[in-house]
Structure 1
Amino acid sequence: MTTQMTASPLIATIATDRVKATLDRLYAETLRVDPLVRQAAQRDGFESEADAGFYRAMREAYMPVTPEMGGLLYLLARSIGARTLIEYGTSFGLSTLFLAAALRDNGGGVLISTEIEAHKAAQARLNLAEAGLDDLVEIRLGDATHTLAEGCPDGIDFVLLDGAKSDYLPVLKMLEPRLRAGALISADNSEMAGARAFVDYVREPRNGYLCASLFTQALGAYHANQIVMRM
């Protein structure tokens, strides 16, 4: 009698116990911390990013992509075999974890992420190490319009924009010469007024992009996201 052997299915890095435990911990912290930070910011008169000082008031908040959006980022990066990724807005590194997991499963490469708050960058490095993904990520500290101005490789496959919305278009234009044809750009919270110039730019076909919008829900609010392809 012949016993047929079946191969064990491959497990995506994003589904491993180590990465899942890190993400679960960070999302639990988000639910505990972010509403309190936002309430304090609102009491001080900071309702949205249109208010000067908003991001400073929100500096202890996680403000991550939703788990569903994180899963989509992983799938998008995996689907195009992304090996060179750029992230504007590390925060505490939740979206970074999704992208780094995709990078691991694509065979390695580099994820360059940038964060303006030093304590967030430091904690993000610890979170990546906890998940076993820190070897794939370079976190640059400072304003993205400076930290990404040089030292980024050609042939960028994937860009995540998730920082100050008014910087989306300047950061994109700075990276634009290094984007490969078919590169994907994901822009979070693109419904905010600061992202208007970016959205108008990528929706104009003559600028060399194809754009699709999707919506996510977090903490009772709906948010727009742009998924953009460089033609």
Structure 2
Amino acid sequence: MNTLSAPRTVAVLDRLYAAAAESARRGPTPTAKPIPEMNAAEKADALEQAYMPLSPEGGRLLYALTRSARPTTVVEFGMSYGISTLHLAAAVADNGIGQVYTTELSATKVAAARATFAEAGLDQHVTVLAGDALDTLATVDGPIGLVLLDGWKDLYVPVLRKIENRLAPGALVVADNTDFESVGDYLAHVRDPANGYVSIALPIAEGMEVSCRA
């Protein structure tokens, strides 16, 4: 079974990727304060119309990794409009085991993504944790078998450290947009053998890093 290729899932993903392309074409919404100077909540409000999607190639990688690892608990940091979440949920559905716990601070995106998951028929496989991920992830029990980091880049390390003691042996941690300079501290963390990971960089879109909790 491959829910990722099912017509219902494909139709939803095509719609979302088209909307993301249109959002990118329009450009960012002007704000009174520069984005880098905002806190997480201010950024979420300012960018509530921005899709910031995982690439299709990255989505297929996520699906394949999740199918292979068969995690009972999947954590996603940074749901946005739910494109990456749909790839994770499709894999969990096809595995017949597991649940995706995804985090998002924007109320607009939370409402839209919940409707999207229902449209795709995958809502029963997704638990949306609305609010600050550093708070909401405390409610997720371990062992966590797979993690996607795709929210604010400067929070990759704090989020990982928040859940690190609940990672299963051999858990996979996937980080997106690792070509960004702001991900440097995170890459240093997972590439240092003293921190307990075996990590590899993949040339997908704007960079992805796959790390195994060894």
| 1:34 aligned to which of 24, 27, 30 | 24
1:4-19 equivalence runs, <5 A:
11-19=1-9
C-alpha displacement at 1:200, in angstroms? 0.5
Q: Which has the higher helix share?
A: 2
Which of structures 1 and 2 has the bigger CA Rg? 1
The code of the aligned residue for 1:76 comes to: L
SS class of match (2:63): helix
In 2, are the aligned partners of 1:83 and 1:106 still within 8 Å (CA)? no
Q: Which runs of 5+ in 1 are unaligned?
A: 1-10, 218-222
Q: Which residue of 2 aligns with 1:4?
A: none
Q: Is 2:171 the counterpart of 1:188?
A: no
Q: Is 2:213 the counterpart of 1:225?
A: no
Identity of aligned pairs, percent? 41
For residues 151-172 of structure 1, what are the alpha-carbon distances to aligned partners after superposition, in whole Å with 9 as ceiling and x for unaligned? 2121111000000111100110
Q: Which residue of 2 aligns with 1:8?
A: none
- RMSD of the TM alignment (CA)? 1.7
Q: 2-side partners of 1:197 and 1:213: how far apart?
A: 15
| 1:135 aligned to which of 124, 128, 148 | 124
SS class of match (1:216): coil
Q: Which residue of 2 aligns with 1:5?
A: none
For residues 130-189 of structure 1, what are the alpha-carbon distances to aligned partners after superposition, in whole Å with 9 as ceiling and x for unaligned? 0000001110111111111x2212111100000011110011011111101111011111
Q: 1-side partners of 2:90 and 2:125: how far apart?
A: 9
In 1, are the aligned partners of 2:79 and 2:104 still within 8 Å (CA)? yes
For residues 74-125 of structure 1, what are the alpha-carbon distances to aligned partners after superposition, in whole Å with 9 as ceiling and x for unaligned? 0011111122100000100000000000000111321110100001011110
Q: Which residue of 2 aligns with 1:125?
A: 114
1:79-228 equivalence runs, <5 A:
79-148=68-137, 150-217=138-205, 223-228=206-211
The code of the aligned residue for 1:228 comes to: S
SS class of match (1:191): coil
Q: Which runs of 5+ in 2 are unaligned?
A: none
Figure out how many residues of one structure are paired with residues of the other and give that number: 211
C-alpha displacement at 1:195, in angstroms? 1.8
Q: 1:186 to 1:170 in 2, by over 3 A?
A: same
TM-score by length of 2: 0.92
- TM superposition outliers: structure 1 runs of 4+ over 6 Å: none
Q: 1-side partners of 2:49 and 2:178: how far apart?
A: 22
TM-score by length of 1: 0.86
Q: 2-side partners of 1:20 and 1:186: how far apart?
A: 23
1:57-72 equivalence runs, <5 A:
57-72=46-61
Q: Which residue of 2 aligns with 1:20?
A: 10
When structure 1 is superposed on structure 2, of 90-99 and 107-116 the one drifting more is: 107-116
For residues 38-76 of structure 1, what are the alpha-carbon distances to aligned partners after superposition, in whole Å with 9 as ceiling and x for unaligned? 3x44x9785xx6454655433211011011110110001
In 1, are the aligned partners of 2:48 and 2:108 still within 8 Å (CA)? no
SS class of match (1:180): strand
Q: 2-side partners of 1:44 and 1:27: how far apart?
A: 28
Q: 2-side partners of 1:44 and 1:100: how far apart?
A: 37
